[in-house]
Chains A and B, each alone.
Chain A
Amino acid sequence: MLKIKNVSALIDTSEVLKNINLEIKPNEIHAILGPKGSGKSALAHLIQGNHLISQTEGTISFNNKNINKLPAHKRSRLGIFASFQYPVEIEGLTNLEMIRATFENKTGGKFTSTLEESYRRLVAVLGLRNDFPDDMVNNIDSSPDECKKNEIIQMALLQPDLVILDEIDVDLDKTALEAIVLILKEYINNKGKSLIVMTQNTDLLDQILPDRIHILVNGEIREQGGVELYKRIIEDGDKQFS
């Protein structure tokens, strides 16, 4: 599904990613662990196509198509969805209006009343207020917890093929995290869907059980592995980053 070969990238003049190699196959869950500033968000949004991150080397391909030069909206339409660690406020645009606009734009279909019901169901499942759909997107009064849940709702309704969750666990309490994990498990059970979870801590791993783990430090992948690395990380906690 996603192949990243020898990719390096800059933000302004700083090299934030160095010679990254990754391959994510359909129905795989990958976890990328690393300390703050290790390049996790840069990698997530390089894959999404943020024009503020310059890819200087290598190739990113998605479903066998080179997407190096594709802008973010085209990558989104191909099925890539990166969540935001700090989702931005859009004044005057309600959460429901945003999901309607993005859904209709991405799929070309109508955001039907059935979809709106699904949307409201997700709002309830995640424990958000009934009037949340009418709140402005990530407005200044929203808690970080609400903004993160909003990202998950967008993901669940837009049904991308590849989801990249950037620090989705931060600012969430245990109950909220459990609700999100339920939605993620439902998502990954669909055929052909893949998930990359970027995180700093190991609590989430226990619940989503990734197939592969990558340790990112200073923009480089230091270590990669499967179950054995997962077990070691669970035992060692954050020591592997030091």
Chain B
Amino acid sequence: MAINSFLKVERGDPDWQFSPEQYFGKEVKIIDASNIEMARNHKEQMVLRQNPTDKGLVAKHIRIELKESSELDLIIINDLDSHLQQIFLYDIILNEGSNINFGIFAQGGKFNKHIIQVAQHSGSGFNAFGLISNSNGGDTELITKTIHQHPYSKSRQLILGRAGPRSQTVFQGMVILNENSTGGEASVENMNLITGPKGRCFSKPEIYTNCDGIKSNIGSITENISDEKIYYLQARGLEPKLAANTIISSFQNQVIDLLQFDDLKAEVQQIFN
């Protein structure tokens, strides 16, 4: 299978201007495929650690299907070496009354892209949270497309991005509430922190509503780690480096604290600090 042109990007000239519509249905060279299927009324907690070593631009595919009324807490911990270029595709199907808490913590890589597609049926819930970060001169991206196909489904995304010197993050979150999704709720929030010179964070949250009776919320904010903030903590006795680290770790902890287990929090904190 050929690698399509949308993946052939130069660093510093990303394909961020494409909408998520243009990411899906493309063919990529998939070298690994996994399947997670949750039986009806079943509950499960999983952690997937991705520390790949494959060279070249390769993609890995994970298909996740939750049967009726099942629940899954899935945490993805992704830590890439600075020379790697990888794409992770997640196809998620949420059947009636099922719920997934999807935590994604992705960092590093020359090109580290995560593409999540979610199809939601009646009364299902998609709760995504996480942190994408790059501080080694590369590009870490998270692209989501969530389709509310049936009534009373809920989706919530809270994604943080952190870009270090000459690095970038991209978040594109598209939610479509189609004609049959009455009573649906959708929220997309993206907060970004630029922590070094020439760092860049691109953000494009979008919600499209095609029916009445929808609650939706959307927001995006990107900030630099400012001299003013560092001085504020410095004036209270913290050395500038410690002040900067405090600002960064506090920012990240907004999503790391959503992890349920302390050992998992510690693991993620170690990767991102």
Contacts and interface: CB of A to CB of B under 8 A. Distances in A.
A38 to B, nearest CB: 21
Interface stretch (B25-33, B51-59, B249-257): B249-257
A51 B250 contact: no
B251 A88 contact: no
Contacts of A63: none
Given A91-B250, A91-B254, A93-B250, A106 B236 contact: yes
A102 B231 contact: no
Interface stretch (A76-84, A122-130, A179-187, A206-214): A76-84
A88 B243 CA distance: 13
B240 A71 contact: yes
A97 B231 CA distance: 17
Given A52-B227, A101-B246, A90 B236 contact: no
A72 interface: yes
B9 interface: no
Nearest to B248: A92
A88 B231 CA distance: 10
Interface in B228-251: 228-229, 231-240, 242-243, 246-247, 249-251
Interface residues of A, number: 29
Interface residues of B, number: 27
A88 B253 contact: no
Nearest to B257: A92
Given A71-B240, A76-B237, A93-B250, A50 B229 contact: no
A158 interface: yes
B250 A92 contact: yes
A12 to B, nearest CB: 13
Interface string A35-50: 0000000000100111
A186 to B, nearest CB: 20
A106 B233 contact: no
Looking at chain B's contact residues, the main secondary structure is helix
A72 B235 contact: yes
A87 interface: yes
A110 interface: no
Interface string B213-239: 000000000010011110111111111
B191 interface: yes
Nearest to A102: B236
Contacts of B234: 49, 71-73, 76
Contacts of B246: 90, 93, 101
A122 B193 CA distance: 32
Contact of B238 (A84, A101, A154): A101
B237 A102 contact: yes
Contact of B253 (A50, A73, A92, A106): A92
Given A92-B253, A93-B250, A51 B235 contact: no
A48 B235 CA distance: 7
A17 B197 CA distance: 32
A88 B232 contact: yes
B121 to A, nearest CB: 34
Nearest to A140: B221
A105 interface: yes
Interface of B: 191, 193, 223, 226-229, 231-240, 242-243, 246-247, 249-254
Closest 5 CB pairs of A and B: A92-B250, A106-B237, A93-B250, A102-B236, A76-B237
Given A84-B235, A158-B237, 8 more contacts: A49-B235, A51-B227, A52-B231, A71-B240, A77-B237, A93-B250, A98-B233, A102-B238
30 contacts: A45-B235, A50-B231, A50-B235, A52-B227, A52-B231, A71-B234, A72-B234, A73-B235, A73-B243, A76-B237, A77-B237, A81-B236, A82-B235, A84-B232, A88-B228, A88-B232, A90-B232, A90-B246, A90-B250, A91-B193, A91-B250, A92-B249, A92-B252, A92-B254, A93-B247, A98-B233, A102-B233, A105-B238, A106-B236, A154-B236
